[in-house]
Each structure stands twice: as C-alpha cells, then as structure tokens.
C-alpha cells in the first residue's frame, strides 16, 4: 500500500488499499462509522444507510463508496448525526422493538447504535405493525416484528451456507423477509442452527430456542463498552462462542 493513499475522516488521515470502501479503510484503522447492514464478510448493499457520511459535500453510504485519495469525509457533524438519528428513529417505529422484553437486549446492534448516536426517543409515531412469529423450526425462532430488512441473513445463507433460505420480497413499506421452503415456514427450510445466517442478525429477529437472558445486566456485550469499541454482534459471535467453549 502506497503511503500517499489516504483520505481524511474528521481531519484524521486514513490509509486505504486499492478496492477499499470508506468503511473498509476506517474499520481497519480502528475508527468507527455507525452501521447495521454492513458486515466485512459480505458484499455491501447499502440498505440501511445508517453509515451515511458527508464526502466533499455529498451524503453517501460509507459501506459502498470506494475510498479515494484526498477525500474529505465528515463522520461526526451535527447534520450527519441528525440524519443517522432520523434513520434509526424510523427503524424503531416501523417495527416492534420493545427492548426490555427482547433476549437480545444488551447485545443488539440496533440498540447499541441508537445509544451511540444518542437517539434516545422514537420521535415519529409508532406503526405497531401486526407481525407474526415463526416458531416452526426445532432450534430457531424468527420474530418478524424485530426484522429491520438489513439483508445480512440473506447474504450469509446464499454466500456462506449455500442454501438461499432467506429472501426479501416486496417493495417499500410492503417489503418483508420470506423463507424459501415448500410451505413458506422456517421449519420446512434447509436452515440449521449452526448456519452462518443464524449468527449475523444485528437485532433480535433470529434467536435460538431453549435459551435466553443468559447474560445478566451489567455483563452483556455492550454494557461495559460502547459499540464503537466492542464492534458489532456478527464480528463478535465467533469469539464469544470460543470463549464460552474454553477455546
């Protein structure tokens, strides 16, 4: 990597490789841009837009925009922070995210990013959608009311598991996650509890059965350190499993 391949993030030099996006280079440099749909293991699709940054006066998604020499990237101005908070507020009101009743509380990326950006109230009117729960799988339960349509499970199932269990159907407010099975039920799909698709959900939409609330308050993933230090759930999943198994 040539030493002159750099851009500035809030005035700080960030080196990058050919082919890097802004997000790639920033995370490698140990800096943080809030995000939900991004996972370095998969090709980015920019669906959540929470990683919005100002690049030379234009608002762009950091996970899809290629890094370029001498870019000026604004990641922390009040304008950018307000835009992120509005996007997060819309995600909260479009679903049913009741954190005290969710097993993912304390380890939820949506919740952690909301705290990080100081999104402390929903602002918009809640939709309170009527969405079902699919408990047909012997090991996994799916909460449609918590799904934020990030597409991570879809990409993981397709690109890593080779199964194509998940798809996003519809457009706009009518978009929804569907299961590719003869009956449309998760239990009749090819999903296994050990699939990558099960571990990448940034919220509490995909959860294992027969367990929950195992980590006491104060010891959960984001209780002691913010997401900007800890990282996202998907990146920590394997490390947490190894730790519990004594590896």
The residues spanned by each domain of the chain are 6-76, 82-212
pLDDT (tens digit, 9 = 90+) per residue, 43-60?
898 889 999 999 989 999
pTM above 0.85, yes or no: yes
Q: How many CB atoms lie within 10 A of CB 174?
A: 7
Q: How many CB atoms lie within 10 A of CB 154?
A: 22
Q: How many CB atoms lie within 10 A of CB 181?
A: 16
Q: Do residues 142 and 206 touch, judged by C-beta distance below 8 A?
A: yes
State the alpha helices, DSSP H only, in 70-226.
78-94, 109-116, 152-156, 196-199
Q: What is the reported pLDDT for 156? A: 96
238 pLDDT exceeds 60?
A: no
Q: What band does 234 get if pLDDT is binned at 50, 70 and 90?
A: low
Give the closest residue to 39 by CA, choosing from 236, 176, 178: 236
Phi, psi of 142 (to 5 degrees): -120, 125
pLDDT (tens digit, 9 = 90+) per residue, 28-39?
999 999 999 999
- Secondary structure class of 59 (helix, strand, coil): strand
CA distance 8 to 70: 7
Q: How many CB atoms lie within 10 A of CB 171?
A: 7
CA distance 146 to 131: 9
Fold topology of 82-212:
Alpha-Beta Plaits (3.30.70)
Query: Span 92-118, mean pLDDT?
Result: 94
- How big is the chain by its Cα radius of gyration, in Å? 18
Domains 6-76 and 82-212 alike in fold: no
Q: How many CB atoms lie within 10 A of CB 232?
A: 22
CA distance 165 to 180: 5
What would the CATH number be for the domain defined by 6-76? Answer: 3.10.20.740
pLDDT (tens digit, 9 = 90+) per residue, 150-190?
999 999 999 999 999 999 999 887 889 999 999 999 999 99
243 pLDDT exceeds 70?
A: no
As given in the structure block, the two tokens for residue 61 are 């998604």
Roughly how many angstroms between the first and final C-alpha of the chain, as a whole number? 34
* The Cα angle at residue 226 between residues 220 and 227, in degrees rounded to 5: 90
Give the closest residue to 58 by CA, choosing from 47, 36, 76, 73: 73
């Amino acid at each position: 990597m040539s030493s002159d391949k750099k851009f500035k993030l809030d005035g700080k030099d960030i080196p990058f490789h050919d082919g890097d996006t802004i997000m790639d280079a920033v995370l490698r440099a140990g800096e943080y841009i809030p995000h939900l749909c991004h996972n370095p293991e998969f090709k980015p699709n920019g669906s959540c837009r929470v990683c919005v940054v100002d690049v030379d006066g234009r608002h762009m998604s950091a996970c899809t925009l290629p890094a370029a020499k001498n870019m000026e990237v604004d990641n922390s101005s009040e304008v950018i922070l307000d835009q992120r908070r509005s996007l997060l507020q819309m995600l909260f009101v479009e679903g049913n995210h009741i954190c005290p009743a969710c097993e993912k509380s304390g380890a939820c990326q949506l919740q952690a990013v909301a705290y990080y950006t100081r999104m402390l109230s929903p602002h918009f009117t809640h939709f309170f959608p009527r969405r079902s729960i699919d408990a047909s799988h012997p090991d996994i339960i799916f909460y449609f009311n918590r799904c934020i349509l990030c597409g991570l499970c879809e990409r993981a199932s397709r690109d890593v598991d080779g199964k194509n269990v998940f798809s996003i159907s519809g457009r706009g407010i009518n978009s929804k996650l569907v299961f590719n099975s003869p009956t449309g039920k998760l239990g009749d799909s090819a999903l296994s509890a050990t699939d990558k698709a099960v571990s990448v959900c940034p919220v509490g939409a995909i959860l294992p059965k027969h367990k929950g609330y195992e980590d006491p308050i104060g010891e959960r993933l984001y209780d002691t350190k913010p997401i900007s230090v800890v990282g996202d759930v998907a990146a920590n999943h394997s490390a947490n499993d190894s730790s519990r198994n004594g590896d």
